[in-house]
């Protein structure tokens, strides 16, 4: 049992329990979904299993309704709020993308400024396209050796707040994909002192709420809202997520915002997975993440013992731009063996049947979670040792990630909806991009709508493509062309 004191009985899982009751009642369905507990789609039932399709049901009185929860979903949300130390929690079924978007849409409207680091997930900027808010970027520090974006420095945030006193909120990655945390408590205080809200993208931070010795969670740091990817470190099904609110946020308004875009047919598979996972985290999270941390630390030591690789950890902490580090993350710098992270990522899959989370230009990330066992970790470490032995190269000519400071020419919304034209990549220098370009994962835009295209950005895109990064975003799937804002003809001003 966790030592934490919860207000509610965390052994309960109301959605799961309601579904069990529903199953036992053998209710005859004359409602959607049309597969009717799988009977109408035997191939699907064979593939997913009777148990699974049997609870793929629609909202009904005994099972509540996600759009307007008053019974079991409401209870599950209250339990989640209690478990995460939030004033309110929303079960989300559109991925953490929908949590992030609802969070941003709840606090920003057209023309508002929002302060955020440039290495945000695309979902944040998507929300700005939707609502017309204007980003104020705080340049994240770069670690020169690793080529990764770090957190936001306190003084940089203070400067942005001072220069943009009317901004409505500050958004923080807690942590970044690589596990790096900014000084969240200090940023919350700065934001609140300036009358702004503080939002946290905690897509990679679910475990902060339950483990020990991990960085502070958004709710504990006093943030106003947090988007939490339960399906990442929390163990729930893909696409299920939570949106948490602090006491200063009007939860019923947030519910209205969520309902603007969220489905009215919330999946009970996703919702029950959130319910069961929350219970598991509350009851056993502490020991589970203790094990996860131990596994990650062991793997880090073993990878560093191979030589050539650098699996980084808490030594990066510098009190500011790396205020804290999430030790469950196993991020490995690969350039010193002469291979790009994405190349090692590909070799691991093609040669060793090992799929890792992502590889970028200089690093890779192996996701360690509650589902890992030592025997698979030994495989990963050994495969990395083998890759070094077999594929190590002279690293000259390898590019390191560099922070390319964005030049924001107009708001993402303005750029996205502006008149545009498609130009061959190499002819776009100096133009304003009207779409996203990113490697996925991690899904952090290289270019966002409204940003000026420069030579160094193009070089980076071409290099990343050449190394085998999966590029996404543009209309042109080959990414040979980019959409840019149409320029007014000369003399027509």
Partner 1 sequence: MEFWFSEFHTPDVKHSIRFNEHLYSKQSAFQRIDIFDTPEFGRVLTLDGNVMLTERDEFIYDEMITHVPMAVHPGVKNVLVIGAGDGGVVRELTRYDRVERIDLIEMDPLVIEACRAYLPGNACRMDDRRVHITFGNALKEIRHCENEYDLIIVDSTDPFGPSEGLFTKEFYGICYNALREDGIMVNQQGSPFYAEDAKAMQRSHKRIASTFPISRVYQAHIPTYAAGYWTFGFASKKYHPIDALDVEAWLKLNLKTRYYTPHLHKGAFYLPAFVEEMLLEVENEIQ
The answer to whether 302 contacts partner 1 (rule: CB under 8 A) is yes
Mask for 174-193, x = binds partner 1 (CB under 8 A): --------------------
Q: By C-alpha distance, which of 132, 149, 143, 130 is closest to 406? A: 149
The answer to whether 3 contacts partner 1 (rule: CB under 8 A) is no
Cα–Cα distance, 237 to 323 (Å, whole number)? 31
Task: State in angstroms the smallest separation of the CB of 49 from partner 1.
Answer: 17
Which residue lies nearer to partner 1 by CB, 39 or 389?
389
The answer to whether 386 contacts partner 1 (rule: CB under 8 A) is yes
Which residue lies nearer to partner 1 by CB, 105 or 383?
383
The answer to whether 353 contacts partner 1 (rule: CB under 8 A) is yes
Which residue lies nearer to partner 1 by CB, 250 or 389?
389
Q: Is the bond preceding residue 124 a cis peptide, omega within 30 degrees?
A: no
Q: What is the DSSP secondary structure assignment for residue 433, as one 8-state letter?
A: B
The answer to whether 305 contacts partner 1 (rule: CB under 8 A) is yes
Contacting range for partner 1; rule: CB under 8 A; set: 58-66, 111-119, 281-289, 347-355: 347-355
The answer to whether 46 contacts partner 1 (rule: CB under 8 A) is no
Which residue lies nearer to partner 1 by CB, 221 or 387?
387
Q: By C-alpha distance, which of 288, 289, 337, 285 is closest to 311? A: 337
Contacting range for partner 1; rule: CB under 8 A; set: 163-171, 192-200, 383-391, 453-461: 383-391
The answer to whether 301 contacts partner 1 (rule: CB under 8 A) is no
In the three-class reduction of DSSP (H, G, I as helix; E, B as strand; rest coil), residue 391 is classed as helix
Cα–Cα distance, 17 to 15 (Å, whole number)? 5
Task: State in angstroms the smallest separation of the CB of 385 from partner 1.
Answer: 5
Cα–Cα distance, 195 to 282 (Å, whole number)? 33
In the three-class reduction of DSSP (H, G, I as helix; E, B as strand; rest coil), residue 355 is classed as coil
Cα–Cα distance, 153 to 426 (Å, whole number)? 35
Q: Which residue has the tokens 């919350």?
A: 188
Helices 122-131 & 95-107 angle (0-180, nearest 10): 40
Which residue lies nearer to partner 1 by CB, 334 or 413?
334
* Of the candidate residues 181, 245, 381, 484, the single one contacting partner 1 (CB under 8 A): 381
The answer to whether 352 contacts partner 1 (rule: CB under 8 A) is yes
Neighbours of 305 (CB within 10 A): 11
The answer to whether 378 contacts partner 1 (rule: CB under 8 A) is yes
Which residue lies nearer to partner 1 by CB, 242 or 296?
296
Task: State in angstroms the smallest separation of the CB of 307 from partner 1.
Answer: 9
Number of residues in the chain: 493
Task: State in angstroms the smallest separation of the CB of 374 from partner 1.
Answer: 7
Total binding residues toward partner 1, as defined by CB under 8 A = 18
CB 232 within 8 A of CB 274: no
Q: Which residue has the tokens 């799937």?
A: 477
Which residue lies nearer to partner 1 by CB, 376 or 475?
376
Contacting range for partner 1; rule: CB under 8 A; set: 62-70, 186-194, 261-269, 349-357: 349-357
Q: Is the bond preceding residue 29 a cis peptide, omega within 30 degrees?
A: no
- Burial annotation 310-346 (CB, 10 A radius, 16+ → b, else e): bbbbeebeeebbbbbbbbbbbbbbbbbbbbbbbbbbb
Cα–Cα distance, 114 to 172 (Å, whole number)? 11
Contacting range for partner 1; rule: CB under 8 A; set: 109-117, 123-131, 247-255, 302-310: 302-310
Task: Summarize as ranges the residues that interact with partner 1 (CB under 8 A).
Answer: 302, 305-306, 351-353, 374-376, 378-379, 381-383, 385-386, 389-390
């Amino acid at each position: 049992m966790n030592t934490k004191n919860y207000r509610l009985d965390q052994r309960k899982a109301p959605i799961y329990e309601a579904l069990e009751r529903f199953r036992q009642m053998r209710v005859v369905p004359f409602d959607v979904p049309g597969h009717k507990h799988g009977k109408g789609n035997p191939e699907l039932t064979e593939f997913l299993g009777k148990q699974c399709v049997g609870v793929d049901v629609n909202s009904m009185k005994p099972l509540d309704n996600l759009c307007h929860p008053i019974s079991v979903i409401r209870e599950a949300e209250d339990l989640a709020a209690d478990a995460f130390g939030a004033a309110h929690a929303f079960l989300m079924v559109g991925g953490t993308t929908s949590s992030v978007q609802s969070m941003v849409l709840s606090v920003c409207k057209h023309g508002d400024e929002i302060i955020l680091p440039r290495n945000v997930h695309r979902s944040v900027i998507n929300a700005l396209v939707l609502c017309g808010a204007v980003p104020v970027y705080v340049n994240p520090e770069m670690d020169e050796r690793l080529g990764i974006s770090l957190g936001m420095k306190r003084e940089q945030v203070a400067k942005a707040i001072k220069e943009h006193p009317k901004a409505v909120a500050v958004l923080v990655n807690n942590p970044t994909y690589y596990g790096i945390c900014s000084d969240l408590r200090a940023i919350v205080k700065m934001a609140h002192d300036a009358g702004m809200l503080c939002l946290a993208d905690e897509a990679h931070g679910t475990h902060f709420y339950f483990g020990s010795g991990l960085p502070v969670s958004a709710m504990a740091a006093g943030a106003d809202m947090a988007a939490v990817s339960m399906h990442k470190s929390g163990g729930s099904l893909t696409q299920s997520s939570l949106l948490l609110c602090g006491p200063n946020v009007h939860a019923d308004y947030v519910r209205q915002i969520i309902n603007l875009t969220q489905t009215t047919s919330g999946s009970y598979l996703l919702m029950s997975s959130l319910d069961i996972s929350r219970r598991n985290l509350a009851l056993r999270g502490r020991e589970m993440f203790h094990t996860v941390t131990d596994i990650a630390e062991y793997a880090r030591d073993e990878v560093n013992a191979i030589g050539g690789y650098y699996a980084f950890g808490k030594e990066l902490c510098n009190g500011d731009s790396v205020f804290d580090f999430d030790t469950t993350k196993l991020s490995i710098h690969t350039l010193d063996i002469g291979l790009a992270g994405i190349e090692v990522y590909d070799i691991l899959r093609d040669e060793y049947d090992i799929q890792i989370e992502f590889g970028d230009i200089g690093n890779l990330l192996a996701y360690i979670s509650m589902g890992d066992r030592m025997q698979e970790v030994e495989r990963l470490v050994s495969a990395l040792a083998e890759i070094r032995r077999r594929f190590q190269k002279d690293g000259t000519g390898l590019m390191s990630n560099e922070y390319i400071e964005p030049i924001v020419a107009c708001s993402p919304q303005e750029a996205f909806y502006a008149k545009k034209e498609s130009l061959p990549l190499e002819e776009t220098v100096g133009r304003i991009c009207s779409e996203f370009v990113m490697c996925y994962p991690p899904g952090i835009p290289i270019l966002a709508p409204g940003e000026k295209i420069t030579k160094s950005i193009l070089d980076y895109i071409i290099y990343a493509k050449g190394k085998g990064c999966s590029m996404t975003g543009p209309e042109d799937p080959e990414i040979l062309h980019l959409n840019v804002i149409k320029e007014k003809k000369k003399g027509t001003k």
